[in-house]
Amino acid sequence: MKLLACLLTVVAAAVVATAQPKLEIIGGDTYNWGQIKPSNNPLKGTLKLKNAGNEPLEIKSVKPSCGCTATKLDKNILEPGEVASVDVSLNIGTATGPITKTVTITSSDPSNETKIVYLRAEVVRAVMLSMPYIAFTDLSIGKQSTASITVKNNSSENITCFGFEATNGLIVNPKGRVELKPGEEFKLSASLVPDAEGYFNGTIKFSTSHPDFPTIDVPVYGNVLKPASPVFQPGRP
């Protein structure tokens, strides 16, 4: 009898151990859009959450990281074999190249209460700026300062840049048309002679022949300082 009781206890424990919910992300723990263009922004997709266990599963929360959003689940309690859906959206902003965001899912899965799903994409910009803005670091009243970035043709076709304009007293260079073959780049510079101290901001705008980038705006900013005061030296006029 004691042996039978022990066997029954072991069997019962095994049944309890195997009777549990299990969260599975259909397609794997990474959602990858692959190579995308800025015109695809925002990126949208749907995560499928499945209860691969043999007990009901509760999805307690779905929390996206900064830069992405997730809609409410269509169901929070999943019976064995059931699937829930949640739509996700990723804002690529000014990013270039590979980007990764996450969605953290907590559930009643005892073996993995917190699961992280990775959202990945590679942003390919046909016209690529080395920086999305031009920043002056040495602005001073009455003194000319120049700052620049590079503009690169990151596509497989020739691109023409033209119609360069600037605001708020900025002088932009180049002024004419710039022809870029694939892989080529040019320097886009802004010059300024400030006449007042304080924060400065302006914009450089130009057009391109690429359909994804008909116009490009480049913010320009800096802080204008007073001219250095002459140092007083006794005995000198």
Which token pair is 99?
């980007």
CATH code assigned at 174: 2.60.40.10
Which token pair is 118?
């990775």
User: pLDDT value at position 93?
Assistant: 84
User: pLDDT value at position 1?
Assistant: 52
pTM of the model: 0.70
In a domain, 235, yes or no: no
Query: Residue 6: which residues within 8 A CB-CB, separation 6 or more?
Result: none
User: pLDDT value at position 231?
Assistant: 54
Q: Which domain holds residue 155?
A: 127-224
Strand partners, 94: none
- Mean pLDDT for the chain overall: 89
Query: Residue 165: which residues within 8 A CB-CB, separation 6 or more?
Result: 172, 204, 205, 206
User: pLDDT value at position 32?
Assistant: 96
Q: For the chain, how many structural domains are there in total?
A: 2
Do 38 and 118 lie in one domain? The reply is: yes
Do 63 and 83 lie in one domain? The reply is: yes
- 39-98 per-position pLDDT tens digit: 899 999 999 999 999 999 999 999 999 888 888 889 999 999 999 999 999 998 888 889
Instruction: Choose the weakest-confidence range: 10-19, 24-33, 158-167.
Output: 10-19
Do 144 and 105 lie in one domain? The reply is: no
**232 vs 140, 226, 236, CA distance in Å?**
21, 17, 8
- 196, pLDDT greater than 80: yes
Do 154 and 119 lie in one domain? The reply is: no
In a domain, 73, yes or no: yes
Question: Which of the pair, 110 or 71, is modelled with greater confidence?
Answer: 110
Do 118 and 26 lie in one domain? The reply is: yes
pLDDT over 90 for what percent of the chain? 77
Question: Which of the pair, 227 or 119, is modelled with greater confidence?
Answer: 119
Among 139, 114, 126, smallest CA distance to 192 is for 139
Residue 42 preceded by cis peptide, ω within 30: yes
- 132, pLDDT greater than 60: yes
Query: Of 69, 98, 123, which residue sits at a domain end?
Result: 123
Three-state SS at 208: strand
Query: Of 68, 99, 123, which residue sits at a domain end?
Result: 123
User: pLDDT value at position 67?
Assistant: 80
In a domain, 9, yes or no: no
In a domain, 236, yes or no: no
- Render 130-141 in DSSP notation, one character per residue: SSSSEE-S--BT
